[in-house]
Amino acid sequence: GDSVTQMQGQVTLSEDDFLFINCTYSTTWYPTLFWYVQYPGEGPQLLLKVTTANNKGISRGFEATYDKGTTSFHLQKASVQESDSAVYYCALNVGDNSKLIWGLGTSLVVNP
Amino acid sequence: DMKVTQMPRYLIKRMGENVLLECGQDMSHETMYWYRQDPGLGLQLIYISYDVDSNSEGDIPKGYRVSRKKREHFSLILDSAKTNQTSVYFCASRSGNTLYFGEGSRLIVV
């Protein structure tokens, strides 16, 4: 079945460090891939999404590229800030299915 | 601005009591969801609703039921709450393939 894997449970960085959060997926369909961000005390919100048509998503300094060869959708940011501290979820949607397949989330802690 | 509202935000109940969590959206979205979030387990889908009185079980429906009598409102009901239902519950509605979440309802069952 369809699945999403986020291996990193927590990432700890200092301000201005480079961020890389790993996400791999498995599906036999053409996916739409998402990164959602959840700030403390809030619900998740869409950070960016990518389809097979547009390949790369960019939002608020974050970027993610859909790589069909490695079935990956890693999240990157060149220089993190303390305000980026949050939980980041990778998610997958295939076809017109209303269900999203979620990764377990990666908690990012950015120290000043 | 798309907004999903959850009530109550915090709730403490005794084991065996009934619990009603309510969710509203003002965007006339057809599809709505209830998730629970627990440490290390991420977001788990409890129920999905495709429109009024059109509800389907998610991945962990046991111990829960839902009600959707108006498109704008989607309720999650726990009949006889159990301690293992202590969690944070999120409601979401769908526009296109994007989900919009409420701020969550934290339930503690003692």
B45 interaction partners in chain A (CB closer than 8 Å): 99
* B31, B42, B94 member nearest A104 (Cβ): B42
B24 interaction partners in chain A (CB closer than 8 Å): none
Q: Which amino acid is at A86?
A: A
DSSP-derived pairing of the beta strands B42-51 and A45-50 = unpaired
The pLDDT of residue A67 is above 90: no
DSSP-derived pairing of the beta strands A106-111 and A10-14 = parallel
**Strand, helix or coil at B24?**
strand
pLDDT the model gives residue A48: 95
The contacts of residue B81 (CB under 8 Å, 6+ apart) are B13, B14, B15, B16, B17, B18, B19, B107, B109
Note whether A41 contacts B58, CB cutoff 8 Å: no
Question: Are A112 and A16 in contact, with CB atoms under 8 Å apart?
Answer: no
Alpha carbon of A1: minimum distance to chain B alpha carbons (Å)? 14
DSSP A20-87: EE--EEE-SS-EEEEEEEE-TTS--EEEEEE-TTT-EEEETTEEEE-BTTTTB--EEESS--GGG-EE
The pLDDT of residue A8 is above 90: no
A40 in B contact zone (CB under 8 Å): no
Give mean pLDDT, residues A88-109. Answer: 91
Q: How confident is the model at residue A37 (pLDDT cuts 50, 70, 90)?
A: very high
Give percent of chain A with pLDDT exceeding 70: 100
The pLDDT of residue A95 is above 80: no
Q: How confident is the model at residue A85 (pLDDT cuts 50, 70, 90)?
A: very high
**Strand, helix or coil at B50?**
strand
* A32, A43, A99 member nearest B90 (Cβ): A43
Return the half-sphere exposure (C-beta side, CA atoms, 13 A cut-off) of residue A93.
19
B-contacting residues of A 74-103, CB under 8 Å? 89, 93, 98-100, 102-103
The pLDDT of residue A97 is above 80: no
* Rounded Cα–Cα distance for residues B48 and B64 (Å): 12
Q: How confident is the model at residue A13 (pLDDT cuts 50, 70, 90)?
A: very high
The pLDDT of residue A38 is above 80: yes
Nearest Cα to Cα of residue B21 among B64, B82, B71, B69: B64
